Amino acid sequence: MIRLLQITSGLVLLLAPAFALAQSGPGRPGPGLSASRTIMAGSMLGVAISNAPDKARLAIARPDDAATRAIIVAELSGRPSASLQTPGDAGSYELRLTQDRDGAPVILLRQPLVTTPASATLSAPARVARGNGLPVRGIGPNGEQDRVVIARKDAAADAAGPSFFPAENIEATLEAPETPGTYELRYVMHAPLAEHRILARQEITVE
């Protein structure tokens, strides 16, 4: 049965039954994983863990990666749930529950994970007076370090400027630059394998 885990920034995460259960011996159930198997690249993946052993970690890796290799690793520290940012590139990955044994990670459970291409939308007035507030709305993968930012059209993808984090709030009022000209409102994804990737742009004229 599919269960609703949480609603974060308008995204609903659905949990499918655990991919596998490890056996820990008579009378004690093994650990279990429960998470969505398909999600937008760069989004936060909510994971529920049951009966996790000591020193357990969550990892996202490519399916053919060895246990010692991973793209994302998160310590559980006894928590029954965790949130991991998925890789920014669309593709096939593997969610893993691992445990250190003799100084090396061992895979206890694994579950397929498919990330779909990342996309974002922006909404804001096309013109604004210099120094005035510009109401902005930005929705995308909403990763922890994603930004909606005002920058010059020819600026680098990691350029600084008036910005906000859509993971915290998808709407904000940004102060327009003091120098008139043509700018861009950008949704910039910052995710594993995809740092400072511009997903959406909207031209803004500062008068």
Equal fold, 3-116 vs 121-206: yes
Tens place of pLDDT per residue across the chain (207 aa): 333 333 333 333 333 333 444 444 455 678 899 999 999 999 999 999 998 888 899 999 999 999 999 999 999 988 899 999 999 999 999 999 999 888 889 999 999 999 999 999 999 999 999 999 999 999 999 999 999 999 999 999 999 999 999 999 999 999 999 999 999 999 999 999 999 999 999 999 999
Domain ranges within the chain, ordered by starting residue: 3-116, 121-206
CA distance 111 to 20: 8
Q: How far apart are the first and last CA of the chain?
A: 55
Architecture of domain 3-116: Sandwich (2.60)
Cα–Cα distance list, 75 to 56, 94, 105, 202 (Å): 7, 17, 12, 38
pTM above 0.75, yes or no: yes
121-206 fold: Immunoglobulin-like (2.60.40)
